[in-house]
Each structure stands twice: as C-alpha cells, then as structure tokens.
Amino acid sequence: MKHPVLLPALAIALLIANSCKKDEVTPKIDLITLSGTWTGLSTINKKGTCTYTDSIATITQVWSVTSAGAVSIQESFSYNTFSSTTSWTGSVDQSLQLTITRSENTNCFGTVETKSFTLSGQIQKTPTGYNLDQKMDFSICPPNCLFDIHYVLWK
C-alpha cells in the first residue's frame, strides 16, 4: 500500500462533511398571495415651511403581484371631502422587500412638473396576513413644501 494514511483521512473527511448541518432552505413565498386589497392609514406631516396642517387619510390599495415579483398598485386616498387616486409600480422580492414608485404632476407656485416618489420598505408577514409600516419623503415644492408620509397598511 503506497498511501496508508489516505484512506483514514478520506473516511474522516466524509464523516465530517456528512455530519455538518446543511443550510436550511427558506421556503419560497408565493408572491401572488400579496395581491388583493390592502387598507390602512397615511399620516402626512409637514417638514418645511409650507402652509399645511398635518393630516391622516384613509388608504385603500389594490395590489396585483406576479410570481416573479412585479407589483402594480391602484391607490385610493381620502381625507375629509378630498379624494384622489394614483398608481404605483415596482417590485417585491422573496425577502418581502418592496420598492414602488409613483409619478405625479405637481404645481409649485404656478410651475407644473412631473415628479417621482419612491417608497421602499419591508413587508411583514403576520399570523393573519401581511402589513407594511413605512415612511417616505414627499417633496412637492422644495425647499418650502416638504412632507413626510407614513403609510401603515395591512392585508
């Protein structure tokens, strides 16, 4: 026998390799289950000097999510007698990290321009469904009209 040590070393290596616990595989989430109606509140807080009173609005969003994670959202927003609708598009991944963007025309002291706003956050899985609790900057007319919008949504 030319290599008597090789066989015992190989046997030990195989034992160690087989005894090591393999990484647990996180089960895949069927992202389509995020589709449907989400409801909640949106708190709008003034950060700049623009004349605006902080408010809380009710939000209804209808989500359409593909198995690949493409997200399309139709949002209805209402506060007192004011209501509006907007659309969001973006993506969500297997870790439930969401990034969505919306564009809208803003009127800043007579100057109309299209601005994009992005909301990024972590969706939380709960025993009864999902929730999202996330803030985003909403700068309509910098430097004066700056807002912080806090979304709290659940499905």
* pLDDT value at residue 23: 54
Return d(Cα 37, Cα 86) in angstroms, integer: 15
pLDDT tens-digit map of 60-100: 999 999 999 999 999 999 988 889 999 999 999 999 999 99
* pLDDT value at residue 3: 52
The architecture of the domain spanning 31-154 is: Beta Barrel (2.40)
Q: Name the band, by pLDDT with cuts 50, 70 and 90, for residue 141.
A: confident
Residue with tokens 């999510």: 65
Q: Per the structure block, which two tokens stand in for 43?
A: 């708190």
The DSSP result for 63-92, as a single string, is EEE-TT-EEEEEEEEEETTEEEEEEEEEEE
* pLDDT value at residue 13: 46
pLDDT tens-digit map of 33-54: 999 999 999 998 988 888 878 8
